[in-house]
Amino acid sequence: MLKSIDINCDMGESFGNWKMGDDEGMMPYITTANVACGFHAGDPVTMLDTVRLAKRHGVVVGAHPGLPDLLGFGRRAMNITPEDAYSYIVYQVGALQASLATEGMQLHHIKPHGAFYSVLKANMELAEAVAEGMQKLGGTPVLYWPAPTTAAMPTACKKRGIPVVGEIYPDLQYAADGSLVIQRHKHETDVEFACAQVERYVKTGKVQAMDGTLVELDAVALCIHGDGPNCTEVGAAIQQRLKSIGCDIRAYMP
């Protein structure tokens, strides 16, 4: 049984007057926040506001960099070079590091978003470029990645000694091979199923797939999406379930 688990959420994805997700509502239920860096979502004011909100709640902050695709929310595939990938990481994470510095905070981790995640999952050359960028940004870089952590990006990080934190997603479904079934249109999460999935994983290291099979994963964190219609209900219920089974909730520390 896991003694502790980290709860994270993608945040800072609003843009100007356009709002995405319930950052204020979710913040009390998480330990780490993945903050958008302006390419797929977010803007300078939203980034700083999200950093300050996290600081008030004692939540540590990581970068959620994406492809330069505001219109498509970073979900459209692009053909990029290793130089592009390296530069995108340095540019986006650097902006968040500066925002954190103004509040006396440090970057906790990096978690690629959307189509950027997809290309880094399969392309080792791009993954190596991003891992190099993570190292050169300084500090103690950590990669957050949906479990299993066997894809190109986590492999490239492990080769460089960069810690990799695997995640489970209790508000999504799993296929029998352990891959996530992505929702393109958000719907209400079955709260009891999400809580049972978390409890099952904490106790056994396995999640239940859509066909009923149990899939073993290598995660020490879970991610709750803050743009679901009942996300705060899910966050509160999972927090309570973890407490009831004696599992501490705290940010991963390398």
| pLDDT score at 183 | 73
For the cut 80, the answer to whether the pLDDT of residue 61 exceeds it is yes
Token pair 């509160």 in the structure block, residue: 236
Residue with tokens 């960028």: 133
Give whole-number Cα distances, 234 to 7, 30, 88, 121, 223, in Å. Answer: 12, 11, 33, 28, 11
- What pLDDT does 182 receive? 78
Token output for 21: 């997700």
Residue 123, pLDDT > 80, answer yes
Tell me what pLDDT residue 186 has.
78
CA–CA dist 84, 86 (Å, integer): 5
**With contact defined as beta carbons under 8 Å apart, do 71 and 40 qualify?**
no
**Single-letter code of the amino acid located at 28:** P
In the predicted structure, residue 184 carries a pLDDT above the cut 80: no
Average pLDDT over residues 69-95: 97
**Statement: residue 243 has pLDDT above 80:** yes
Residue-level pLDDT at 75: 95
61: Cβ contacts below 8 Å, ≥ 6 apart: 32, 33, 35, 50, 51, 54, 96, 100, 105, 107, 108
Give me the pLDDT at residue 33, please.
98
Cα–Cα distance for residue pair 111/121, rounded to 1 Å = 12
Q: Are 209 and 174 in contact, with CB atoms under 8 Å apart?
A: yes
pLDDT tier at 111 (50, 70, 90 boundaries)? very high
Q: Indicate if the pLDDT at residue 185 is higher than 80.
A: no
Indicate whether 172 pLDDT > 90.
yes
Per-residue model confidence as pLDDT tens digits over 214-237: 999 999 999 999 999 999 999 999
* Sign of the dihedral defined by the CA atoms of residues 66, 154, 30, 204, in that order: positive
How far is Cα 142 from Cα 157, in angstroms, rounded to an integer?
9
Name the percent of the chain in helix, strand, coil, to the closest 5: 40, 20, 40
So what's the pLDDT on residue 187?
Answer: 85
Pairing, β 60-64 against β 4-11: unpaired
Q: Distance between CA atoms of 5 and 243, rounded to whole angstroms?
A: 11
Name the percent of the chain lying above pLDDT 70: 100
Task: Write out pLDDT tens, residues 174-183.
Answer: 999 999 987 7
Residue 138 — pLDDT band, cuts 50, 70, 90? confident
Give the chain's mean pLDDT.
97
pLDDT digits 0-9 by tens, 195-220: 999 999 999 999 999 999 999 999 99
The amino acid at 136: K
Q: Tell me the pLDDT band of 168, cut-offs 50, 70 and 90.
A: very high
Question: What one-character DSSP code corresponds to residue 29?
Answer: G
